[in-house]
Every structure is written in C-alpha cells, then in structure tokens.
Structure 1
C-alpha cells in the first residue's frame, strides 16, 4: 500500500505552509488562499485552511543510514519532542528508529528510518529530498469497526496479521514490506512523544487502493 495524497486541515494555515516551504524545504506544487500542496517524496501533502484547531500524527520515511544525519539536520530547525527523557526511539517490532517534532499547526510529525523496508541513501549528507513519502497517518475514530472494515475491503490488511484493536491500542494497516501504514487510533489515545490525545479530524487519505475521506 502506498499513500499518494494526504489532505489535512488547520486554523494556522499561513504559519504551517511557511514551515513546510521554508523550514523543511518541501517543493511547493500549488497554492491558493485556502490550500497549499507540497511534494513529499511519492506523496502530495495538501494543507487546507480551517477555522478549527485540528491536529494529526503522520510520519515521513527517511533512509536508515542517514538517521543520525537527519536528526542533526532536524534539530537545527525545530525542537525535538521527548518521551521518558529521550529525543528518539528504537522500535524493535519494525526495525526502526524515529524522531518527533511539532509543526505550527500542532501536528505530531515523525521522521522514521525503517531498516528493512526503506533503502539506504548513496549520499552521506541528509536533505529533504531523501524523504521517500508519508509512511504513516493516524486515522482517529469513534467508529473503529466500521473504519477497519473499510480498510480491509479496500485490500489494505492489518500489518503482519496482527489483532485489530477496537479500544485503547493502535492498529497498523498496511504490508510490512511496504513500510507504509494507516494507523487506526481510538479517540482519546495519547500520541507517542506528545501529551496530545487523538481527535477525530477531517481528512483525505488517497492510496493506490482507494481513498478514505472524513469531512469537516
């Protein structure tokens, strides 16, 4: 499964679009008074203007061999979030390391290096061009069974045939070999490296197997 397009909403439109254009340096594909679209590897990220304070959790894949270089690059631009006193984390179940930060909209953004599913870079210096795409997006919901059934009907399986959780825990949908996931999250569940709890938000997640839409 691949995420080809992601649309998110924010009431901090100007600051957030400036952040992705200037601070992180993603190429700007299109802009208007109400939305801006950036090319983030294989994913188009669209930020839409809203009057409500929505926030999301999403992740970008980075080359495993450039994790430390990417961490230093990111620390020059943002303050890294911390969990239990640490500013990075090693996920043994996904053979990955990750860092987290917030953008001006309050989104919990992750750079993750997956050792087994993301290729190493041939270069030694990290740039924003090494982002291969959006590899995780949290889909926060009060209707977990319905959303799980929709994802399954689209041909998006649960990672490694894991158990689907309908309360308290996250469920990762997508093949492990792709390293790209839609994370089904119960509303109220705290996001890692944050004090924020998952909330239901308007969203569009376009994949190579269909599109999921939640309207404002």
Structure 2
C-alpha cells in the first residue's frame, strides 16, 4: 500500500507550506508539497485546524543517522522523559525513528525501515531523501472495527497484531495508524490524536472503496 495523496487542513496554508518547503526542503508549488510518490495538499481549515495530526516520512534505513543530524540542524527533537530522542523498534517494526513538532501542533516522524532497500548514494542528506509519506494517524473510537473495515474495503492487513487502542494497517511503504483518541502520541505523550478534515488517497490496494469516520472527521479513498 502507498499513500499517494493527503489533503491536510491548516490554520495558515502559506505558513504550513513554508515549513514543509523551507525546514524540510520538500519541493512543491502553491499549496501542494511533494514527498516522493506522495503529495500533501494543504487546504484552509473550515473549522479549527486539527491539532495532534501524526505524519511519518520514510527515509533510507542506511542513512538514518545522517537524517537525524540533518533534522537536528533544523528542529528540536521530541524526547521521552528520560531524554531519549531516537528510538529503535525490532519485532514487526524493524525500524528507527525520531519525532519533531510540525505546523498546528502536529507530531511528525522520520522513520527508517530495515526491510526496504536503500539507494546506494553518497551525497549529503537533504529533503530529497524523504521518499514518501508513510504513516497517517487516524483516531477512532473502535480500533478493531476500523481494522476489520480496512480489510473488507481495501483488503489491507495489519503490521503485527492489533490491540484495542492501536493498529498499524498496511505495510512498510504506507500505513494508516488507527489509534484510540485518548491515547497520546509517543514520545512526549502530550498531544492527543486528531485528524478532522483529513482525506487520504491510497494506491496498491486490492479493491477500490471509501473508509471514513464521521465522529473524527477523516476519510480514506482508493480507486
């Protein structure tokens, strides 16, 4: 599964666009930001913009340390209370991550995934090494029901077992993170999930369809 487009409400479209283009060095024109095969279309929030949106961007696993150095020159990293700023997960994840705050209080992440092949490059790390939008957080009052609906609608499975409060739907190239709305985002655990007004378009799924959550205001489409 790949996330090919995200419509992201913003309190200030110009300010958010400047953040993604300037701080993260991502190309784009107007209100459109390109992250490899993924597009982020910034739209003006009709109601108060969602605070607590979670987005993750894939970076080459072999260049993860370079990615951290590059990011720390641009933004403070989020840390756990014990001070840890970089996180390695084994098991189903096989990944390394760092987190930082984006526009409208969003929780952004750079993640390197061991199972994905790395390009053989030697140039300095830059925004061009962010090669896709790989995660979007979706709060839901029924995580297990959302997992079942994603399987019925798109033929998607989860990365590892789902719990009643968290599930990663999809795979290394793209995931929908279904999460209980009262479960704050790692690592600082101070931002509750929000996704009101988000619309996501997928590619590489088994069937076209639409999955939405009226209570939390998000929609996922394919085909």
TM-score, structure 2 length as denominator? 0.84
Give the CA deviation at 1:205: 1.4
Match of 2:24 in 1: 24
Match of 1:197 in 2: 192
* Alignment partners' CA distance in 2, 1:198 and 1:104: 14
Give the CA deviation at 1:142: 2.1
> 1:173 aligned to 2:159?
no
Match of 2:136 in 1: 137
Give the CA deviation at 1:190: 1.0
Q: Once structures 1 and 2 are overlaid, which stretch shifts more, 145-154 or 60-69?
A: 145-154
Match of 1:85 in 2: 83
Match of 2:221 in 1: none
* Alignment partners' CA distance in 1, 2:88 and 2:196: 28
Identify unmatched segments of 5+ residues in structure 1. Answer: none
Q: Which residue, out of 46, 62, 66, partners 1:65?
A: 62
Aligned-pair Cα RMSD in Å: 1.9
SS of the aligned residue for 2:105 comes to coil
SS of the aligned residue for 1:159 comes to coil
Are the counterparts in 2 of residues 140 and 201 from structure 1 also a CA contact under 8 Å? no
Match of 1:187 in 2: 181
Q: Pick closer, same or farther for the CA change 1:121–1:132 going to 2, 3 Å.
A: farther
Are the counterparts in 2 of residues 66 and 121 from structure 1 also a CA contact under 8 Å? no
* Alignment partners' CA distance in 1, 2:119 and 2:22: 26
* Alignment partners' CA distance in 2, 1:137 and 1:54: 13
Give the CA deviation at 1:104: 2.5
* Alignment partners' CA distance in 2, 1:144 and 1:136: 16
Q: Pick closer, same or farther for the CA change 1:61–1:121 going to 2, 3 Å.
A: farther
Identify unmatched segments of 5+ residues in structure 2. Answer: 219-223
Are the counterparts in 1 of residues 143 and 166 from structure 2 also a CA contact under 8 Å? no
**What are the residue-to-residue correspondences of 1:3-18 with 2, within 5 Å?**
3-18=3-18
* Alignment partners' CA distance in 2, 1:118 and 1:17: 30
